[in-house]
Structure 1
Amino acid sequence: MVLCDVCGDPMDTPMVMLLVLDGYVWGIVCEGCRHKYHYDKPLLTWSEYEEKMVRIGELP
């Protein structure tokens, strides 16, 4: 089980969305908190984040 880092509610989803600020993963955010607090920020899935980090040389 995964919990939202903002509200602490459990998230039962096969895909977890990451809030990335200034290139760093800030946390895992549920849809409710995304719409409430982070509506203007892009969220990435782990595979999208990993792909971007590999492209810029941050991951092996």
Structure 2
Amino acid sequence: MTRDPSLKLRVARLENETVSIDELMTDIRATQLENTQRLDRVETRLDGVETELDEVSRRLPEPA
């Protein structure tokens, strides 16, 4: 086994970086979920608006 004194330091640094990356990925997943839910709500509202516009369009007279 290597007796490089800096090896422990490098391994510890890599472990810390791995933990930091995991935390960032968790934050990204949470943001992605939040944005997905928000977009779903926007899509639902737009579907409702589209339905209302279709109803209004049906009530309007045909162009001459």
TM-score (norm 1): 0.28
Bigger RCO (CA 8 Å, 6+ sep): 1
TM-score (norm 2): 0.26
* Structure with the higher strand share, 1 or 2: 1
Which entry has the higher C-alpha Rg, 1 or 2? 2
